[in-house]
Structure 1
Amino acid sequence: MSKLRVVELFAGVGGFRLGLDNTRQEMFDTVWGNQWEPSKKVQHAFDCYNERFKSGVKSNEDIAKVSDKELQDTQADVIVGGFPCQDYSVARSLNGELGIVGKKGVLFWEIVRVIQNTIPKFILLENVDRLLKSPSKQRGRDFAVMLSTINELGYEAEWRVINAADYGNAQRRRRVFIFAYRKNINYANSMSNNNAEDMLYNRGFFARAFPVESRPYKERVSSTELSGDIVQVSDKFTFKFFNSGIMRDGKITTIDTIPIFEKPTPLKDILESEIDEKYILDDQKFEKFKYLRGGKKIERVSKDGYKYTYSEGGMSDVDSLDLPGRTMLTSEGTVNRSTHIIEEKGFRRFITPVEAERLNGFPDNWTNTMPDRARYFCMGNALVVPLITRMGNEIENIEKVFPDNLSQIELF
């Protein structure tokens, strides 16, 4: 069976690629990857990606400057990528073309451009879970714009919010994953005979890779249909998306599913046996963290003179070693209340960069091409790699059970 050609966008240090490289049948060949950090003089993430992966084209330029021809020449079967949660509102110009309101949201539209130029069979995207309810003044609009666009491009889509710890991993990290597939491939034709709820509970992509109970949480099941006009979706759509869902021809079913939990990996299982003293906190530093992690009620004054009370809930002084790690942020390793602080062998300390890599399922020292602060930052941005491997295994199963003769598939 021929390999699937993969294009990786917003690649970071290669979490998608590494996860796909670890699949059972090794069917994935990442032929083109792009990583570019506009605000960084030194491209630490790309340098790591370039060092760890030897094959394929590795692009370190603004994705907006990559030509359509270069994308067309790539001939992708699969597009993967994690991208920032931004503003996805759209408008139509006087000549009828779609545009973006404001300066944000451009990265998703670059994904759209890549799809239009490569027409892959499969798309696998990742984002923060708040995407489902953004923006706050028009709940669900951003995600609906994405789904409407995916529909217009000729794809059906499933999504699932996955907490990595629910499926055996060492970090409580919730992210939404979107799997889209062309409407005219054999897999789509076969799945069309299954109703939406059966797909989300049993037969769909995420249900097979990450099993759930065959009942909704608190009876939360809902459906809606997208307007055929994406601008109308942007202007007027509001809807409560649950953690699982499917979109076919603009028709949406969404369910608050319950994971069939797997035993998580506790923090104590990923700790290094020996560490450098530079990660140990003295009493003065620990007291600072203790204050930051404590509960607070502070009176503040806004710019217009309005007085208000800023409240912040308390956290334990140190992280439990018997639980999976909390969600790692890009601020990990700094003086910040979200930074992991653990206590073992009579001292309190930061987690090490290697332990940060282990929280995300990366090999030890994957990011040792860069300084510690950059290593923490990259891991705060990274995927939990074993989740991608499970999804890759499921794509391989689809390819095995529902093979296509792509030369006979009409492109749209």
Structure 2
Amino acid sequence: MNYKFIDLFAGIGGFRQGFEALGCECLFSSEIDIHARQMYCENFGELPLGDITQIDENQISNHDILLAGFPCQPFSIAGEKKGFEDTRGTLFFDIARILKAKEPKVVVLENVKHFKNHDGGKTLRVILDTLNELGYATNWEVLNAKDFGVPQNRERTIIVGSLNGVKFDFNKLEKKSPVRIVDILEKDGKFDYLEEGEYTLIENPKRQPSGLIFCGYRNKNIRTKGTRENTQHLSRVHKQPNRIYDANGTHPTIASQESAGRYFIYHEGRVRKLTMMECFRLMGFGDDFKLIGSKANLYNRIGNSIVVPMVEAIAKEIKVQILNAQNKKEFIP
């Protein structure tokens, strides 16, 4: 069955790539950032429409699945819960009004890990209440990219809702064996190495439960006292940029700013930056994905994207658990 979906807050198309890999068809896309729109167009052959708040829901074709990686915003809740009306004035309201008008069978929402605690948990509660009010049975989970075949410790909150009353079972998602940074590195290329005097390595670095092996720091002094027993720590350890990670471990979350380009890896006795292609591989994009724009824009785009193999796993189970179980006559031809 060729299920139809729409791609809201589309970014560079991570959601789209994952669902298209499972045979689904995109009918509509929206993204406000011009650089992301240009890159989306370069890879998918269509320019997403812009500001979702200015798009009439009647412009959108009927569809089976709504996908949205939306920004996190607080809701102004005073007194009694109003459900759908509580979301007015936020970008989630635009998702909700489209759901109300088009009634897709499935909605998939993505946000950062700490979204579940945003505004004391009120944000998540209002969204779940609104989806329930619109007829969707909901479930949510925090998923980590490293469980889906990419060597990046990147956690994201995923919400899945269905109109047929089925609560999506995240436990059935197909997990993959852990991979290491070294498994996605380019074999040949012009690499940006640091000179030996530009960094300091830690003796006997320990693998963290997340899979990270923090092994050094650029141009900072080591201090031996820290919170982890038997592990050397570095001054200003909270500063993620300029850390060095062993290529035999996983990579930390790629941030959505240019400073992410200052992450370094230790590989084959030398320290270097990841290439831009390697950064996109950490998100599960193939080497045929076209990269356009400045480095600053590319780091921003990749840092705001969703991990493609994780999307594929979600899409596969949505088809099995929800869509394939319904009467095929109910779907968009």
Same fold per superposition (TM over 0.5):
yes
Identity across matched positions, percent: 28
Contact 1:9 1:34 in 2 (8 A): yes
Spell out, residue by residue over 1:28-70, the C-alpha distance to the aligned partner (whole angstroms, 9 max, x if none).
Answer: 1101001112xxxxx2211111111136xx4332111112321
Contact 1:319 1:325 in 2 (8 A): yes
**Aligned partner of 2:190 among 276, 288, 300:** 276
Name the CA distance, whole Å, in 1 between partners of 2:131 and 2:286. 34
Q: Does 1:324 align with 2:250?
A: yes
Contact 1:296 1:312 in 2 (8 A): no
Q: Does 1:59 align with 2:48?
A: yes
Pair 350,179 (structure 1): closer, same or farther in 2 beyond 3 Å? same
- In the other structure, the counterpart of 1:19 is 18
List gaps (5 residues or longer) in structure 2: 201-215, 226-234
- In the other structure, the counterpart of 1:290 is 218
- In the other structure, the counterpart of 1:352 is 275
Q: Does 1:395 align with 2:318?
A: yes
Contact 1:89 1:142 in 2 (8 A): no
Please report the TM-score for the alignment, with normalisation by the length of structure 1.
0.66
Name the CA distance, whole Å, in 1 between partners of 2:30 and 2:252. 29
**How far 1:377 moved relative to its partner?**
1.5
Q: Does 1:264 align with 2:253?
A: no
Q: Does 1:384 align with 2:307?
A: yes
Name the CA distance, whole Å, in 1 between partners of 2:236 and 2:294. 35
Q: Which structure has the larger Rg? A: 1
Contact 1:360 1:383 in 2 (8 A): yes
- In the other structure, the counterpart of 2:76 is 89
Q: Does 1:130 align with 2:114?
A: yes
**Aligned partner of 1:161 among 128, 142, 165:** 142
Contact 1:294 1:313 in 2 (8 A): no
- Give runs of aligned pairs for residues 21-40 of structure 1, distance below 5 A: 21-23=20-22, 26=23, 28-37=24-33
Contact 1:357 1:365 in 2 (8 A): no
**How far 1:98 moved relative to its partner?**
3.1
Instruction: Tell me the secondary structure at the aligned position of residue 309 of structure 2.
Output: helix
- Give runs of aligned pairs for residues 303-322 of structure 1, distance below 5 A: 312-313=237-238, 317-322=243-248
**How far 1:375 moved relative to its partner?**
1.5
**How far 1:319 moved relative to its partner?**
0.3
Instruction: Tell me the secondary structure at the aligned position of residue 140 of structure 1.
Output: helix
Contact 1:332 1:380 in 2 (8 A): no
Pair 332,351 (structure 1): closer, same or farther in 2 beyond 3 Å? farther
Pair 205,99 (structure 1): closer, same or farther in 2 beyond 3 Å? closer
Contact 2:149 2:309 in 1 (8 A): no
Spell out, residue by residue over 1:386-411, the C-alpha distance to the aligned partner (whole angstroms, 9 max, x if none).
Answer: 1111111112223223335328xxxx
Contact 2:100 2:134 in 1 (8 A): yes
Instruction: Tell me the secondary structure at the aligned position of residue 126 of structure 2.
Output: helix
Instruction: Tell me the secondary structure at the aligned position of residue 265 of structure 2.
Output: strand
Name the CA distance, whole Å, in 2 between partners of 1:68 and 1:290. 50
Pair 176,45 (structure 1): closer, same or farther in 2 beyond 3 Å? same
- Give runs of aligned pairs for residues 37-48 of structure 1, distance below 5 A: 37=33, 43-48=34-39
- In the other structure, the counterpart of 1:76 is 63
- In the other structure, the counterpart of 1:363 is 286
Which amino acid in 1 is paired with 2:267?
E
Name the CA distance, whole Å, in 1 between partners of 2:323 and 2:95. 23
Instruction: Tell me the secondary structure at the aligned position of residue 98 of structure 1.
Output: helix
RMSD (CA atoms): 3.1
Which amino acid in 2 is paired with 1:11?
A
Contact 2:245 2:251 in 1 (8 A): yes
Pair 92,48 (structure 1): closer, same or farther in 2 beyond 3 Å? farther
Name the CA distance, whole Å, in 2 between partners of 1:144 and 1:331. 30
Contact 2:87 2:126 in 1 (8 A): no
Contact 1:91 1:98 in 2 (8 A): no
- In the other structure, the counterpart of 2:203 is none
Contact 1:358 1:364 in 2 (8 A): yes
Name the CA distance, whole Å, in 2 between partners of 1:292 and 1:46. 39
- In the other structure, the counterpart of 1:230 is none
Name the CA distance, whole Å, in 1 between partners of 2:64 and 2:71. 23
Instruction: Tell me the secondary structure at the aligned position of residue 318 of structure 1.
Output: strand
What is the aligned residue count?
A: 303
**How far 1:108 moved relative to its partner?**
1.2
Name the CA distance, whole Å, in 1 between partners of 2:37 and 2:13. 9
Please report the TM-score for the alignment, with normalisation by the length of structure 2.
0.80
List gaps (5 residues or longer) in structure 1: 38-42, 192-198, 211-260, 298-309, 408-412
Name the CA distance, whole Å, in 2 between partners of 1:164 and 1:147. 24
Q: Which moved more, 1:284-293 or 1:3-12?
A: 284-293
Pair 70,358 (structure 1): closer, same or farther in 2 beyond 3 Å? same
Name the CA distance, whole Å, in 1 between partners of 2:76 and 2:283. 32
Which amino acid in 2 is paired with 1:323?
G
Pair 292,52 (structure 1): closer, same or farther in 2 beyond 3 Å? farther
**How far 1:106 moved relative to its partner?**
1.5
